């Protein structure tokens, strides 16, 4: 279809031509004036930038010579940057920078070109000081100026733009050296022989510690579209970081790391960054993580990061891939008005064997080689408001679907159903082999253990042992709240099942991987009914440490009382339950005559009252057998003198009982009940049930009474 012809009057055409002409003339005049004045403007800008660096950051910036090279390029020579009272940070022999003119008109400085020839960047750490301290100084100043006024989404957008604006369209870097010197013990040098960006294509060659390795950062960068895709790899070997080994005693290596940003823009009121990160053949070794190398053949995360006005979050649309296994994480950290921590993990129904095979090699040694069938799903929900820590939410569930164990791995998880050898460890060294079975004269079947001991230890250690499936989520939830309020680990959430697995199936290295492996084994045993509850309790009673080189209830009753386990009275049962968290200080709890020291009396009343309320013993106002506990005569020569004092000053307001002032008894009853940061010699972190709680009023009253008795005793002494 032919469009109708539009007739424009000639006078309008003439007017338009005159307007355009005038504008062009103005621009030409302005450009001519600016061009003629540009050296003066450059001098002014340089002086201002140097003064600002000194005022805001304490940096002494010197430039040997500078001037324009071409229309918009600035060429500089002999540049140095020295932080005040610190080592030289940067020296550059020759640098040319070009900026884009159009963005510059609107106040945005975007680099069009960088050429750098021979430069040094030195990062020096000396004790607690470094030549990067000026960054923290500036950050603190900004925080003081903008306190409670920062919009994180706007900050993220501006920060990302500033970074992207500094990536030029064209780049040529030669002989740029980065040196890291950390207290002269850990040194690292990167020499960038060449690094170029040509039409968005990045290529680089970096020599590490002279000729130890050759690294490459290659890929594509499109700062205008807010996109990049960069890969790090080495020539004919893995990427290794010996600096970490010298500094942190950690080994880290990998074949390749790839990072990609696909998009970055506002989504509603939130700033959203979409991208991915992946690694091939990652190898980690650190004594706190695992006793051996951990190998991750292939890991990838597709991530959507959200930055709101007052929060940062990893959106639930993100996916973590480990081989064929997948899990969807959700992380959110809210800064104001209260700090709030949120974590959700969701792994939908997937093949159990694929999940098991996805575990990194070397992480769970006892499960390696295990074959299973069926499916599993996992869900975790965690929410903690720092203003309301007691209302913390914690739910974790690993659900089996037609799950079966077809073949054991390195460890047969049913081995404790028959006779086996148990080897306790003392500070990482094996003590002796103990046969857990009738052939051992000290072995005690569950039916021959006094109910007084059985009920006392279940009350103090794990009251819901026969009803839970290895874990007590409410106990874990409360432990999180307590630890958060104390700002340190003062209480755990271990059950008897977890303590048993830790001692029987796992190594004695105190590592993160061992703890996770412990949880998995407990789940496998409890959810697949591999061992009955009675057998688990029987084995636990026969391996539990109850004194210096004393293991099991059979050895303990003969050692302390010269009795058989079936003959224990209520007081002896409560006493033996009391020493489980700190078995090596058991003898310190007796006075010179062989009776128990008075400070234990409230504990007996407390445990006894709980047992009585549950119908596990008769109500006893005289102390539930406290005065009937008598150490056998042969051991009394090893007792501490009766003058050993109670350290009441070490009692916190909420701690139930005081501490014995001896070298080995450095914790109070709260510590022993809830495992305050100390593990027993078998490596078991003792964690006690939520039922062992008193009101603050009761605790304070008991402490006042204890102090009164001590003062009276002190007055009566000659």
Taking only the tens place, the pLDDT of each residue in 134-169 is: 776 655 555 555 445 688 999 999 888 888 878 888
High-pLDDT (> 70) share of the chain, %: 80
Q: Residues 568, 453: contact at Cβ < 8 Å?
A: yes
Name the burial class of residue 268, with classes exposed (0-12), middle (13-18) and buried (19+) by CB atoms within 10 angstroms of its CB.
exposed
Report the range of poorest mean pLDDT among 150-159, 632-641, 673-682, 707-716. 673-682
659: cis peptide before it, omega within 30°?
no
Confidence of residue 69 (pLDDT cuts 50, 70, 90): confident
What digits encode the pLDDT tens for the residues 212-266? 899 999 999 998 889 999 999 999 899 987 777 777 788 889 999 999 999 999 9
pLDDT score at 162 = 81
Confidence of residue 376 (pLDDT cuts 50, 70, 90): very high
| pLDDT higher than threshold 70 for residue 35 | no
Rounded CA separation 544/502 (Å): 12
| pLDDT higher than threshold 60 for residue 670 | no
* Terminal-to-terminal C-alpha distance of the chain: 123
Instruction: Give CA angle at 50 (49, 53), nearest 5°.
Output: 85
Rounded CA separation 594/617 (Å): 25
Domain coordinates in residue numbering, the chain: 33-120, 150-309, 311-408, 411-716
Rounded CA separation 87/132 (Å): 10
Q: Residues 509, 529: contact at Cβ < 8 Å?
A: no
Q: Residues 124, 130: contact at Cβ < 8 Å?
A: yes
| pLDDT higher than threshold 60 for residue 677 | no
The CATH superfamily assigned to 411-716 is: Biosynthetic peptidoglycan transglycosylase-like (1.10.3810.10)
High-pLDDT (> 90) share of the chain, %: 50
Q: Which residue in 95, 231, 78, 120 sits closest to 172, CA to CA? A: 95
Question: Is the model more confident about 308 or about 692?
Answer: 308
Report the range of poorest mean pLDDT among 207-211, 423-427, 457-461, 648-652. 648-652
Rounded CA separation 217/406 (Å): 46
Rounded CA separation 582/544 (Å): 11
Instruction: Give CA angle at 556 (554, 558), nearest 5°.
Output: 75
Report the range of poorest mean pLDDT among 45-59, 139-153, 695-709. 695-709
Question: Is the model more confident about 144 or about 567?
Answer: 567
Instruction: Give CA angle at 223 (220, 227), nearest 5°.
Output: 60
pLDDT score at 379 = 95
**Cβ neighbours of 272 (radius 10 Å):** 19
| pLDDT higher than threshold 80 for residue 577 | yes
Look at residue 424 and give its three-state secondary structure: coil
pLDDT score at 57 = 82
pLDDT score at 54 = 85
pLDDT score at 713 = 54
Rounded CA separation 389/483 (Å): 10
Q: Residues 306, 312: contact at Cβ < 8 Å?
A: yes
Instruction: Give CA angle at 236 (235, 237), nearest 5°.
Output: 95
pLDDT score at 425 = 87
pLDDT score at 717 = 47
Confidence of residue 700 (pLDDT cuts 50, 70, 90): low
Enter the pTM of the model: 0.76
**Mean pLDDT to the nearest integer, 314-320:** 96
Q: Residues 312, 305: contact at Cβ < 8 Å?
A: yes
Residue 383's contacts (CB-CB under 8 Å, 6 or more residues apart) are 340, 341, 342, 392, 393
Give the DSSP H or E segment for 400. strand 393-407
pLDDT score at 330 = 97
Confidence of residue 573 (pLDDT cuts 50, 70, 90): very high
| pLDDT higher than threshold 60 for residue 124 | yes
Question: Is the model more confident about 141 or about 433?
Answer: 433
Question: Is the model more confident about 292 or about 338?
Answer: 338
| pLDDT higher than threshold 70 for residue 406 | yes
What distance lies between CA 186 and its chain's CA centroid? 24
Phi and psi of 211, rounded to 5°?
Answer: -125, 25
Q: Are strands 90-99 and 73-83 parallel, antiparallel or unpaired?
A: antiparallel
> How many CA atoms lie within 13 Å of 623's alpha carbon, on the beta-carbon side?
16
Rounded CA separation 689/581 (Å): 13
pLDDT score at 8 = 61
pLDDT score at 718 = 43
Question: Is the model more confident about 71 or about 310?
Answer: 310
pLDDT score at 644 = 46
Mean pLDDT of the chain: 82
| pLDDT higher than threshold 90 for residue 673 | no
pLDDT score at 551 = 95
Confidence of residue 661 (pLDDT cuts 50, 70, 90): very low
What distance lies between CA 677 and its chain's CA centroid? 17
CA torsion sign, 552 to 554 to 555 to 558? positive
337: cis peptide before it, omega within 30°?
yes
pLDDT score at 28 = 53
Q: Which residue in 611, 623, 672 sits closest to 459, CA to CA? A: 611
**Cβ neighbours of 419 (radius 10 Å):** 13
pLDDT score at 84 = 85
| pLDDT higher than threshold 70 for residue 19 | no
Confidence of residue 708 (pLDDT cuts 50, 70, 90): low
Q: Which residue in 175, 65, 161 sits closest to 116, CA to CA? A: 175
| pLDDT higher than threshold 50 for residue 690 | no
Question: Is the model more confident about 188 or about 644?
Answer: 188
Look at residue 146 and give its three-state secondary structure: coil
pLDDT score at 27 = 52
Confidence of residue 712 (pLDDT cuts 50, 70, 90): low
Rounded CA separation 716/643 (Å): 13
pLDDT score at 428 = 77
Report the range of poorest mean pLDDT among 123-132, 206-215, 505-514, 686-695. 686-695
**Cβ neighbours of 466 (radius 10 Å):** 12
Q: Are strands 434-436 and 90-99 parallel, antiparallel or unpaired?
A: unpaired
Max CA separation in the chain (angstroms): 126
pLDDT score at 686 = 36
Report the range of poorest mean pLDDT among 170-184, 216-230, 674-688. 674-688
Confidence of residue 295 (pLDDT cuts 50, 70, 90): very high
SS3 content of the chain, % helix, strand, coil (to 5): 35, 30, 30
Q: Characterize 137-161 residue by residue with b for buried, 16 or more Cβ atoms within 10 angstroms of its Cβ, and e for exposed.
A: eeeeeeeeeeeeeebbbeebbeebe
pLDDT score at 214 = 94
pLDDT score at 576 = 96
Give the DSSP H or E segment for 706. helix 696-716
Confidence of residue 705 (pLDDT cuts 50, 70, 90): low
Looking at mean pLDDT, say which of 97-111, 422-436, 531-545 comes out highest. 531-545
| pLDDT higher than threshold 90 for residue 627 | yes
* Dihedral over alpha carbons 678, 682, 685, 691 (to 10 degrees): -110
**Cβ neighbours of 506 (radius 10 Å):** 20
């Amino acid at each position: 279809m032919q469009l109708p012809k539009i007739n424009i009057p000639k006078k309008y055409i003439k007017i338009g031509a005159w307007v355009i002409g005038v504008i062009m003339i103005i621009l030409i005049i302005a450009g001519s004036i600016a061009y003629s004045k540009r050296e003066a403007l450059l001098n002014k800008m340089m002086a201002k930038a140097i003064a600002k660096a000194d005022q805001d950051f304490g940096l002494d910036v010197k430039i040997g010579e500078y001037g324009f090279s071409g229309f918009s390029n600035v060429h500089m020579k002999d540049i140095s940057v020295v932080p005040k009272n610190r080592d030289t940070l940067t020296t550059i022999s020759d640098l040319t920078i070009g900026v884009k003119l159009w963005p510059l008109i609107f106040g945005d400085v975007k680099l069009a070109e960088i050429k750098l020839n021979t430069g040094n960047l030195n990062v020096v750490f000396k004790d607690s000081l470094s030549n990067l301290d000026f960054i923290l100084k500036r950050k603190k100043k900004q925080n003081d100026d903008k306190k409670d006024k920062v919009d994180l989404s706007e900050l993220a957008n501006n920060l990302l733009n500033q970074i992207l604006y500094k990536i030029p369209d064209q780049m040529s870097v030669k002989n740029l050296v980065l040196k890291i010197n950390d207290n002269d013990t850990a040194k690292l040098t990167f020499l960038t022989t060449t690094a170029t960006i040509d039409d968005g294509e990045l290529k680089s060659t970096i020599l590490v510690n002279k000729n130890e390795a050759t690294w490459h950062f290659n890929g594509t960068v499109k700062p205008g579209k807010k996109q990049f895709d960069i890969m790090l790899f080495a020539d004919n070997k893995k990427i290794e970081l010996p600096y970490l080994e010298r500094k942190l005693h950690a080994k880290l290596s990998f074949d390749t790391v790839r990072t990609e940003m696909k998009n970055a823009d506002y989504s509603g009121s939130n700033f959203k960054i979409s991208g991915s990160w992946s690694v091939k053949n990652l190898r980690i070794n650190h004594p706190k993580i695992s006793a051996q190398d951990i190998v991750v053949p292939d890991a990838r995360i597709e991530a959507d990061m959200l930055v709101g006005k007052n929060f940062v979050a990893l959106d639930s649309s993100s996916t973590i891939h480990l081989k064929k296994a997948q899990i969807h994480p959700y992380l959110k950290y809210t800064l104001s008005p209260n700090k709030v921590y949120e974590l959700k993990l969701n792994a939908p129904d997937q093949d159990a064997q694929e999940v098991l095979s996805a575990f990194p090699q070397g992480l769970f040694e006892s499960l390696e080689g295990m074959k299973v069938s069926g499916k599993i799903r996992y869900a975790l929900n965690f929410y903690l408001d720092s203003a309301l820590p007691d209302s913390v939410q914690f739910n974790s569930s690993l659900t089996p679907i037609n799950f079966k164990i077809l073949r054991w791995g390195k460890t047969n998880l049913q081995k404790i159903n028959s006779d086996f050898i148990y080897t306790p460890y003392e500070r990482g060294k094996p003590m002796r082999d103990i046969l857990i079975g009738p052939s051992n004269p000290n072995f005690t079947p569950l039916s021959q253990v006094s109910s007084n001991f059985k009920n006392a230890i279940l009350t103090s250690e794990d009251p819901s042992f026969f009803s839970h499936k290895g874990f007590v989520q409410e106990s874990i939830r409360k432990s999180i709240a307590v630890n958060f309020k104390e700002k340190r680990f003062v209480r755990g959430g271990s059950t008897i099942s977890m303590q048993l697995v830790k001692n029987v199936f796992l190594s004695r290295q105190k590592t993160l991987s061992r703890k996770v492996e412990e949880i998995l084994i407990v789940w496998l045993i409890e959810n697949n009914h591999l061992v009955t509850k009675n057998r688990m309790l029987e084995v636990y009673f026969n391996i539990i440490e109850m004194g210096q080189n004393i293991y099991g209830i059979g050895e303990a009753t003969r050692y302390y009382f010269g009795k058989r386990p079936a003959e224990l009275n209520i007081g002896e049962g409560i006493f033996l339950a009391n020493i489980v968290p700190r078995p090596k200080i058991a003898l310190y709890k007796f006075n010179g005559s062989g009776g128990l020291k008075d400070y234990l009396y409230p504990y007996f009343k407390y445990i006894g009252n709980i047992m009585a309320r549950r119908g596990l013993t008769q109500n006893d106002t005289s102390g539930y057998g406290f005065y009937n506990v008598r150490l056998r005569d042969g051991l009394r020569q090893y007792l501490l003198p009766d003058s050993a004092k109670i350290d009441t000053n070490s009692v916190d307001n909420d701690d139930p009982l005081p501490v014995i002032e001896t070298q080995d008894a450095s914790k109070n009853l709260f510590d022993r009940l809830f495992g305050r940061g100390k593990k027993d010699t078998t490596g078991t972190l003792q964690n006690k049930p939520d039922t062992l709680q008193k009101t603050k009023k009761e605790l304070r009253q008991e402490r006042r009474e204890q102090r009164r008795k001590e003062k009276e005793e002190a007055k009566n002494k000659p």
